[in-house]
Amino acid sequence: MKRAYYRHKGYSLTKPIQVTRYLSATRKALVRDIGGSESNLSAQQVILIDGCINILAIIRSMELYIAKDSVMKGQQLAPCLRHSYLAYRNSLHRTLMQLGIKANGPVELKYLNDM
């Protein structure tokens, strides 16, 4: 599986290529939903969209970890769930609300394996 690597000071964050593609497609969809093209957006909207994508990258990484290693570690939830998963999900929800995006009803979900 191909991976995208991002270097930051003393460590690197790896994202499987399907996550990178998912994030790219999601960013394009958010831009389209809000203003059609990035040139029609304010700086604040671009910053909020980029923040959404960064948060979503963390959430997807947690979900891949869970899929690979399981939800439970012994008698407790996996550390990424126990400490921060819901916080990241809530942060994403709040940021999307700031952008004015609301749920439009049921949508067909695409799973990472289908991309």
Q: How far is CA 110 from CA 30, 35, 95, 113, in A?
A: 16, 23, 22, 8
The ranges assigned to domains in the chain are: 3-102
C-alpha distances in Å from residue 13, one per residue of 50, 61, 65, 82, 115: 17, 10, 13, 21, 21
Query: Per residue in 5-53, pLDDT tens?
Result: 444 444 445 567 778 889 999 999 999 988 888 899 999 999 999 999 9
Q: pTM value?
A: 0.69
